[in-house]
Structure 1
Amino acid sequence: MERKGASKTIDFYNRNATSLYNQYQSLTTEQVHGAWLTDYAPSKGVVLDVGAGSGRDANYFADKGLDVIAVEPSTELGELGKSLTGTGSVKWLNDHLPDMTSVIGLQLKYDLILVSAVWMHIPPKDRPRAFRKLANLLKAGGKLVISLRHGQPDSERPMFDVSAEELERLARQQGLAIERVIDASDELNRSDVQWQTVVLRLPDDGTGAFPLLRSILINDSKSSTYKLALLRSLMRIADGNPGAVLERHEGRVTLPLGLVSLYWARQYKLLLDANIQQSSNPNKGLGFVTDRGWERISHFSSLDFAVGNTFHGDDAAALNTTLKDISRTIQKMPARYITFPGSDRVIFEVEIPRSTHKPDNLHLNLETLARYGRISIPESIWDMMARYSCWIEPALINEWVNVMRDYKNNTALMKHELIKHLEWQDAVRTTQLVRAKIQELNRTASVRCVWSGSKLTGKYDVDHCLPFARWPNNDLWNLLPTKTTINASKRDRIPTETRFRDSKNRILEWWGEAWEGENSERFYTEANLSLPGLNHSTHSINDVYEALTMQSMRLAEFQSIERW
């Protein structure tokens, strides 16, 4: 809290300690917190009660066999709380948000952090810092419970407006997930006061990968944005290109380093085109920006750096050099300095072959991208990235913006401007090529709706089988001819296994007629990188179909998408 406001609030609690103690003790913990206790209170572990007041809740958790740290900035109220809890498993600290100096000094992580009737006292400008401190104190899988007071403020102690929407925004920035929001009336029967309780969780995949990655994102020192660029590239591949895995061996996943470098180029293009500083030293250039490479691809857009594209002549030479420069930068900088806690053992292992290859044509398929080297990551981190990327990426973007705002040349830029230049440039949602193919085929035979079998005459749609709104993919295998009424019924849902099975022959027929020709190489290149379980040289539409159904199951589970 601001020192002046914090002092006024603490003085109020000191002066009124006895009456407030009696007020708090007039209610039980079950009365105040019963709506979430059963589902979210831990059965064992350590609880942090921030703003513990009379010690009522701290005493409740101690009686349940939990170890409790009770934090109370009011000396007088804290003494009364100590008299209630005694000398058992409740340890009292005189501390407050957003500082939490004494709490952090304990170097503990908590299964539950309770912030009850406190958040409205914290000025809005201090809340991001306060929330970050709380998030960093959670164990993986731990719960953060914050109660929000709505209604008429108390004139004797500073109070500020609060909202669940604000907590949701802060949660996205710190990689937490909202489990539940609970509305309740005031247990003291004050008609002008209402409450909301927000239950948040630090996700845990059971391997420790999530807190490890979150620690790299939020807590690691960063003299440049390289670490963030590497992590985001890997997350984007885990989410959008599960078929890029070259091998899984002894608990590690190996990817083509060229693909990571391509995604690296894609995200830096907008930033560097706008002259946004990316390292703490404005006079020192970025290692991958060279005259022979990056400076010669300035005429491309970020969307040009897409799997399946082909470059020729000088463009091919410049991009080839750029991908080599980026690969070496990744090896020398972020991969070298991202290590397991308390050791010098690197998390991301990079191997780059010796090569003098200077292609006249550069086709960005898996075989080409693997020539630049390999990067291997722990399998637990890869699987966690694939599952939780939609939660992690907002925290990564927030941290990237915070890092950039500290750099000298970026101080005049507003936060929303920086975020705009970090927007991922997805594939353009276009069906033009597919519609042209449908018209071509309809001249000699009737194209059928893959879901119903009806002939497409007159108006029709091109369906993104795996919905573009949830997984932006415009690959040829994902675009299927469909009746307009059926597409409207499907909406942004994923077909059931039964619907896939009933439609299999029609899907295979469409793929064979449409793409087994001049677009065959593009079709299989896109499928081999975007779909799991293929062998990277697949040229079988049956194998692509099986991989499509596997990806549909994977996407439905990861994003909880409704089946159709």
Structure 2
Amino acid sequence: MTLFSSSLTQESSTEHLFRTLLLKWIPASTRALELGSARFAAPLAEADVCVTVTADADAPDEESGRSPGLERIPLHFPLGKADRERYGEALEEASFDAVVLDGLKEAFTTDKLHELVREIDMVLKPSGVALILLDAASLPQCLSPEFVIALFERFGFALAERKSVQSPVKQTSAGLVFVRDATRVRARKSLQGLLEEDRKTTTYKLALIKALAEINLSNSARVRYLSPTDMDRYLLRSKIPDAPHQAAIPMGLIIERVAALYWQIYRRHALNESAPLPAQIGGGRRLEFEEPLKALIRLYQGDWLAFRNDFYLGRLAAGSARSLAFISLARAINKALQRGPIFYAGNSLGNDSSAIAGKDGNRLFRLAKGAGFRSLEEAIAPALLDRAAGTFYLPSELWRELNVSAPWLTEAITIRWARLSSDFSRGAMSPGAVVDLMTPPEDMRDTNWSRGLFLERIRTGNLHSVWSGVELFPKTLAVDHMIPWSRTHTNDLWNLMPAETKENGQKSDGVPSAHCLDRAADRIIRTWKLYEGSSMGTLFRAQAESTLMGRALPQKDWETPMMDALLRSADETALQYACRRWEPPLRENL
């Protein structure tokens, strides 16, 4: 493959880095797809982001005996909706040996990068190579190499080589080489050590790991990989110069998840003291936050969904009994986790490179304190809890492993938790009985409010299935979870769509394909706007911000960012669970 001009006599350190990796990983005559500005390769096009198919200009075509030269495709990656429909199949059939990306535009967003990696995955052969240059001169300031690595690993790539070079002005460029390895399942020593080696005197550690795994599955947009600047600040604050790269999670989100886990265990007992309650700590000790947890459960009659809606709508008014109970619970959970697994987790891992070596052992987790719970004088909402509770840090390589292992890890932890709780209870409850307590009840996937909204729409006008566009009637209406409930337990309004009963049965636990979501985009957005204009509009936006977007939803022109986030969420779910992508059957009248 001819990629460079031999007339260049001088080259920058970045050019040299890129050329070295190309010569090593992409041999001549390789059929490759080249993306980018071609600043460090042959001048293939003038556009900032272009696509060309390159082949060795000196090698004869096997059939005609002629040199194939350069074949150019007038596309811009990532592909738009129209280009996906027009060229997607042809690109997939091309099955390239390699993809070369030699630079990103400064305005390149993380959502667009996600689309680009998905399309790189689409066009590569099973054993293909992707070579990526993150050039400091054009790299977005918010984008770290760790984020790019994590994104490729989500799509089944393995990082084969990473090289960096620093320019005279102290800017660092990185060259990354990925190889396709879709069957690779990494069982990291850190996660295994946490489950197997660390002391088991309470269920707090299992609750923390399970909460992290669930956040990975359904709230990953709220987790960020530290940028180089943020990482420098982290190292300065922590005074640990050799700390591994970190990922950051709002501690308030972890507190919410942990509260939900224990809510299920204590729900029956809080409402009926005679109901059995499995012990959560050895030696007969009680849960540190048992009293505020039971008080909040009673105030809501055990209805977690009602509490969560109040929390996201800001209905926990300052000074109210419900607000005070939740503040007390959040403070106690934060204290129990900080003094327990956040401080001690990883101390048994020896010289694990992902842990932080220090006088306290090899600690995996750290907590940067927030404004404190005394600052919660307003009505409580997720953003206010995040501000009060601070930020939880863990090695980014550990979070990337959760990208692979979270689906099975959540189930494995549930079983381990049940066994440990049964042991603490001295066999008074069997592990199976504890699992039954921990299983989310059916009322947590309640869709009655959405159904009522859809029925009213049918009564006053008309409503169509998001998947096929056929008109719906009361007897044919089904409320469908776009991202299946069985995968992420996401019952938020943005995920509930009107569908035909038969279609809903056909879809079952399948995840809609990108093409399916593209075709349904207009109908999905109409449903979102129906929610926004309803009495639950505030809840719709709050849920979308937390579980889909991971950031504030714009007051207007939010439709495209939300669709981009939905496409990303569907891809992540399908990849993590290795589940089928669903395509609705075509109808003759459409």
TM-score tier (shorter):
0.5 to 0.7
Partner residue of 2:409? 392
CA 1:517 to 1:368, structure 2 compared with 1: closer, same or farther past 3 Å? farther
**Structure 1: gaps of 5 or more residues:** 1-202
Q: Which residue of 2 aligns with 1:348?
A: 365
Q: CA deviation at 1:245?
A: 1.7
Q: Does 1:375 align with 2:392?
A: yes
TM-score, with structure 1 as normaliser: 0.58
Q: 1:362 aligns with which of 380, 387, 399?
A: 380
Q: Work out the CA distance in 2 between the residues paired with 1:457 and 1:275.
A: 45
Determine the structure 1 residue equivalent to 2:202.
Answer: 224
Deviations 1:398-430 (A, max 9, x none): 3323333433x4333223222223334576223
Specify the SS of the correspondent of 2:321: helix
Distance 2:218 2:378 in 1: 29
* Structure 1 range deviating more: 475-484 or 516-525: 516-525
SS in 2 for 1:428: helix
Give 1:486 shift. 3.1
Q: Are the aligned partners of 1:232 and 1:393 in contact in 2 as well (CA < 8 Å)?
A: yes
* Structure-2 change in CA distance of 1:314 and 1:423 (3 Å): same
- 2: distance between equivalents of 1:267 and 1:390? 16
- Please tell me whether the aligned partners of residues 303 and 427 of structure 1 are also in contact (alpha carbons under 8 angstroms): no
The counterpart of 2:561, out of the listed 540, 543, 556, is: 543
- In structure 2, relative to structure 1, the CA distance for the partners of 1:384 and 1:518 (3 Å cut) is same
Task: Write the distance in 1 (CA, Å) between the matches of 2:405 and 2:499.
Answer: 32
Provide closer, same or farther for how the CA distance between residues 422 and 447 of structure 1 changes in structure 2, counting only shifts above 3 A: closer
Please say if residues 245 and 253 of structure 1, whose CA atoms lie closer than 8 Å, have aligned partners that are also in contact.
Answer: yes
- 1:155-200 per-position Cα deviation (integer Å, ceiling 9, x unaligned): xxxxxxxxxxxxxxxxxxxxxxxxxxxxxxxxxxxxxxxxxxxxxx
Corresponding letter in the other structure for 2:308: A
1:237 aligned to which of 209, 212, 215: 215
How far 1:348 sits from its partner (Å)?
Answer: 1.2
Note closer, same or farther for the CA distance 1:411–1:477 as it changes in structure 2 (3 Å cut).
same
Q: What residue identity is the alignment partner of 1:286?
A: L
Question: Using a 3 Å threshold, how does the CA distance of structure 1 residues 335 and 426 change in structure 2: closer, same or farther?
Answer: farther
Opposite residue 276 of structure 1, the aligned amino acid is P
- Out of 465, 481, 484, the position equivalent to 2:482 is 465
**Native 8 Å contact 2:418 2:431 kept in 1:** yes
Deviation track 1:333-356 (CA, whole Å, cap 9, x = no partner) reads 110001262242321111222432
Match of 2:308 in 1: 306
* 2:247–2:395 Cα contact (<8 Å) kept: yes
Which position in structure 2 is the counterpart of 1:321? 328
Moved more, 515-524 or 497-506: 515-524
Q: Could you say which residue in structure 2 is the equivalent of 1:430?
A: 446
Q: Is the counterpart of residue 477 in structure 1 residue 484 in structure 2? A: no
**Aligned in 2, Cα 1:261/1:394: closer, same or farther, shift over 3 Å?**
same
Post-superposition CA distance 1:229-280 (Å, at most 9, x none): 1111111111122222255444322112122112222222344434322222
Letter in 2 for 1:281: G
Q: What's the counterpart of residue 165 of structure 1?
A: none
User: Which residues of 2 match residues 542-561 of structure 1 at below 5 A?
Assistant: 542-561=560-579
| Alignment partner, residue 246 of structure 2 | 252
Quote the offset at 1:548 in angstroms.
0.7
TM-score norm. by structure 2 comes to: 0.55
**Mean alpha-carbon deviation: is it higher for 270-279 or for 433-442?**
270-279
Q: What corresponds to 1:267 in structure 2?
A: 261
Q: Report SS of the residue matched to 1:421.
A: helix
Preserved contact between residue 462 and residue 482 of structure 1 (Cα < 8 Å): yes
Whole-angstrom CA distance in 2 between matches of 1:452 and 1:215:
48
User: Structure 1, residues 355-396: CA drift from partner, whole Å, max 9, x if none?
Assistant: 323446333x34534432211122222232233222223332
Rounded Cα–Cα distance in structure 2 between residues aligned with 1:427 and 1:547:
27
Instruction: Give the deviation of 1:483 after TM superposition.
Output: 2.6
Q: Partner residue of 1:286?
A: 287
Distance 1:248 1:520, change over 3 A: farther
Separation of aligned partners in 2, 1:493 and 1:545: 18
- Which residue of 1 is the match for residue 511 of structure 2? 494
Change (3 A) 1:302 1:506: closer
| Alignment partner, residue 453 of structure 1 | 469
Shift of 1:544: 1.4
Residue 342 of structure 2 corresponds to: 335
Structure 2 SS opposite 1:377 = strand
Structure of greater Rg? 1
Matched residue of 2:524: which SS?
helix
Query: Using the alignment, how far apart are the partners of 1:487 and 1:404 within structure 2?
Result: 38
Instruction: Quote the Cα distance in structure 1 between the aligned partners of 2:458 and 2:433.
Output: 47
C-alpha root-mean-square deviation of aligned residues, in Å? Answer: 2.7
- The 1:442/1:348 distance shift into structure 2, 3 A limit, reads same
Provide the secondary structure at the position in 2 that maps to 1:447. Answer: coil
After TM superposition, give the deviation of residue 551 of structure 1 in Å. Answer: 0.8
Q: Aligned partner of 2:450: which letter?
A: V
Q: CA deviation at 1:314?
A: 1.0
SS at match of 1:255: strand
Paired residues of 2:376 and 2:384 also in contact (CA < 8 A): no
Please report how far the alpha carbon of residue 498 of structure 1 lies from its aligned counterpart in structure 2 after TM superposition: 1.8
The residue type paired with residue 379 of structure 2 is N
2:278 — aligned with what?
Answer: 276
For residues 259 and 396 of structure 1, the distance between their equivalents in structure 2, rounded to whole angstroms, comes to 19
Counterparts of 2:405 and 2:331, CA distance in 1: 30
Contact 2:446–2:491 (CA under 8 A) maintained in structure 1 = yes
* Aligned 8 A contact 1:243 1:536 in 2: no
Instruction: Give the letter for the 1:433 counterpart.
Output: W
Kindly report which structure 2 residues correspond to 1:22-33, keeping only aligned pairs within 5 A, or say none.
none
C-alpha separation between the residues in 1 aligned to 2:444 and 2:281? 31
Give the conservation status (yes or no) of the 8 Å contact 2:370–2:387.
Answer: no
C-alpha separation between the residues in 2 aligned to 1:484 and 1:398? 34
Q: Deviations over 1:520-555 (max 9, x none)?
A: 221122122222x54244452321111111111111
Identity between Structure 1 and Structure 2 (%): 21
Cα 1:335/1:516, change in 2 over 3 Å = same
Partner of 2:316, secondary structure, is strand
Residues 271/450 of structure 1: CA separation in 2 closer, same or farther (3 Å cut): closer
Unaligned residue ranges in structure 2 (runs of 5+):
1-182, 232-244, 270-275, 351-356, 584-590
Quickly say closer, same or farther: Cα 1:513–1:286, change in 2 above 3 A.
closer
Q: Which residue of 2 aligns with 1:186?
A: none
**Could you tell me whether the CA contact under 8 Å between 1:218 and 1:399 is conserved in 2?**
no
Distance 1:454 1:269, change over 3 A: closer
Count of aligned positions: 354
